[in-house]
């Protein structure tokens, strides 16, 4: 019996408080160092990275910030989205309670100790020498999270979430619906459904808001010219609406609202890489408008089929529902995903003619073109990404189980990875039923060469737009 007691005691006491103060800080600030040494570094806990602790090593601040398998254990200034806090929290009125509650096998942290972690993370999760995590990251991607009034920042090198930036004081007030990176990679433009179509610019390094204006529309997509001097925003406030807006991204001022009888509900927006033209899709009029970026005049109308009514009438019955526009690097090809006919329509922009219709199952919307222009990736609502050769316009690969509701996607500039912003998280998520917030969304990272999913990472609710900031 004595031997059994000793074994049980070791199992249950491995993470208990030491009898003396910790002998090292691990570069944590004093109170956090004491709590981690006392509760987290037993032999069966987080004294190294292993399969039993989600590869999370807590022996030093640097090791903690390198993260484990969930990629969002610590998000500076955002304790309620940091999984480490969720695992030590026991109060659902404060935030999510994630099982298993840590520390394991011993008493949970006191409310005061939980608050110490909460305050430390919300104050930046700084090291003992005052460093803010991930402050040196330069290669970033940005995802807007509509139902939680936030946008998330992802480190392209480690694929982890490094910041979450609130855009409003209360959830679901502003509803960010689109995001675009400025060509100089110094700022991003975020469009909101709320606040009378509020449009804001945020500094990419400091995450501070540096300009805003009211568009008075229901924005859906943003496109900025390659020189960064002009931007276009589509308006989906009315199924029979026919307007879009033009703005100055430098001064953050609305310059004009353009109406055209040729479109019903402007939806997608894109600017050609050569900067000469902007393209706006009519979601309910089944066409694409070409706009001269010098004069903002509509110079041509590209219907998605011979059966499309031109000019469109208010009682036109929609057939194609063009939802995304991608231009080839040489500005000679345009790829349009059509939800209703479940296809990608390929235009020759030198002849203004359709040269291919690529049939896909289950309503493609999101699409991205590889930097070299050789592959088009298109995602459907059944969580599959199809890889299409632009040389043959044929599907050459399929990637399944790409989270739920892929809404937008982008390649990294080197063409190695594809990031997919998804409206939901496929299957069970890390939070248990006590999690009171909005259902999480996700982003998925896919290796272009192997066609394999690298990571699926939880984000705040309803990821609907992604922008490459480098």
pLDDT at 404 (0 to 100): 81
Q: 140-468 belongs to which CATH class? A: mainly beta
Per residue in 290-344, pLDDT (tens digit) is 999 999 999 999 999 999 999 988 889 999 999 999 999 999 999 999 999 999 9
Q: Give the pLDDT band (50/70/90) at residue 71.
A: confident
Structure tokens at 466: 């992604």
- Angle separating helix axes 111-122 and 30-39, nearest 10 degrees: 130
For residue 133, count other CB atoms closer than 10 A to its CB: 23
Exposed, middle or buried: residue 107 (CB in 10 Å: 0-12, 13-18, 19+)? exposed
Cβ-Cβ contacts under 8 Å for 205 (sequence gap 6 or more): 186
Per residue in 132-142, pLDDT (tens digit) is 999 999 999 99
Per residue in 92-101, pLDDT (tens digit) is 999 888 888 8
Asked if pLDDT for residue 154 goes beyond 70, the answer is yes
Structure tokens at 442: 């996700």
386 within 8 A of 360, measured Cβ to Cβ: yes
395 three-class SS:
strand
Cβ-Cβ contacts under 8 Å for 165 (sequence gap 6 or more): 150, 151, 152, 153, 202, 207
What is the residue-averaged pLDDT of the chain? 90
Domain positions in the chain: 2-122, 140-468
Quote the CA–CA distance of 293 and 278 in Å, as a whole number. Answer: 6
Asked if pLDDT for residue 75 goes beyond 80, the answer is yes
- The more confidently predicted of residues 294 and 13 is 294
Asked if pLDDT for residue 277 goes beyond 90, the answer is yes
Per residue in 231-253, pLDDT (tens digit) is 999 999 999 999 999 999 999 99
């Amino acid at each position: 019996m004595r031997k059994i007691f000793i074994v049980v005691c070791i199992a249950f006491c491995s993470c208990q408080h030491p009898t003396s103060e910790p002998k090292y800080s691990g570069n944590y600030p004093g109170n956090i160092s004491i709590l981690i040494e006392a509760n987290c570094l037993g032999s069966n806990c987080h004294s190294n990275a292993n399969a039993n602790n989600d590869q999370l090593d807590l022996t030093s601040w640097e090791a903690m910030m390198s993260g484990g398998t969930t990629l969002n254990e610590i998000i500076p200034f955002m304790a309620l989205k940091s999984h480490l806090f969720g695992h030590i929290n026991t109060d659902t009125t404060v935030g999510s309670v994630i099982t298993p509650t840590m520390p394991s096998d011993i008493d949970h942290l006191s409310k005061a100790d939980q608050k110490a972690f909460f305050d430390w993370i919300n104050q930046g999760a700084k090291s003992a020498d005052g460093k803010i995590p991930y402050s040196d990251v330069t290669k970033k991607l940005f995802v807007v999270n509509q139902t939680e009034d936030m946008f998330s920042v992802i480190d392209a090198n480690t694929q982890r979430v490094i910041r979450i930036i609130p855009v409003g004081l209360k959830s679901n007030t502003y509803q960010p619906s689109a995001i675009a990176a400025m060509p100089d990679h110094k700022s991003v433009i975020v469009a909101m459904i709320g606040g009378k179509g509020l449009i804001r610019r945020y500094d990419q390094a400091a995450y501070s808001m540096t300009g805003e204006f009211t568009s008075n529309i229901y924005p859906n997509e943003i496109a900025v010219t390659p020189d960064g001097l002009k931007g276009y925003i589509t308006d989906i406030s009315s199924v029979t609406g026919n307007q879009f807006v033009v703005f100055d991204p430098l001064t953050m001022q609305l310059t004009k609202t353009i109406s055209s009888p040729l479109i019903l509900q402007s939806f997608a927006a894109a600017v050609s890489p050569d900067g000469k033209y902007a393209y706006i899709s009519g979601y309910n009029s089944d066409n694409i408008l070409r706009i001269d970026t010098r004069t903002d005049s509509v110079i041509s109308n590209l219907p998605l089929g011979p059966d499309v009514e031109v000019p469109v009438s208010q009682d036109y019955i929609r057939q194609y529902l063009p939802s995304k526009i991608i231009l080839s690097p040489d500005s000679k090809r345009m790829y349009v995903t059509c939800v209703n006919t479940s296809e990608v329509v390929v235009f020759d922009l030198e002849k203004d003619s359709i040269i291919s219709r690529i049939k896909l199952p289950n309503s493609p919307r999101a699409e991205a073109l590889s930097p070299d222009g050789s592959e088009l990736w298109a995602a459907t609502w059944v969580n599959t990404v199809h890889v299409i050769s632009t040389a043959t316009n044929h599907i050459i690969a399929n990637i399944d189980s790409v989270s739920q509701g892929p809404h937008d996607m982008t390649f990294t500039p080197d063409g190695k990875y594809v990031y997919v912003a998804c409206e939901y998280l496929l299957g069970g998520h890390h939070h248990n039923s006590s999690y009171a917030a909005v259902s999480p969304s996700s982003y998925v990272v896919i290796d272009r060469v192997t066609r394999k999913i690298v990571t699926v990472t939880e984000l705040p609710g309803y990821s609907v737009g992604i922008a490459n900031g480098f």
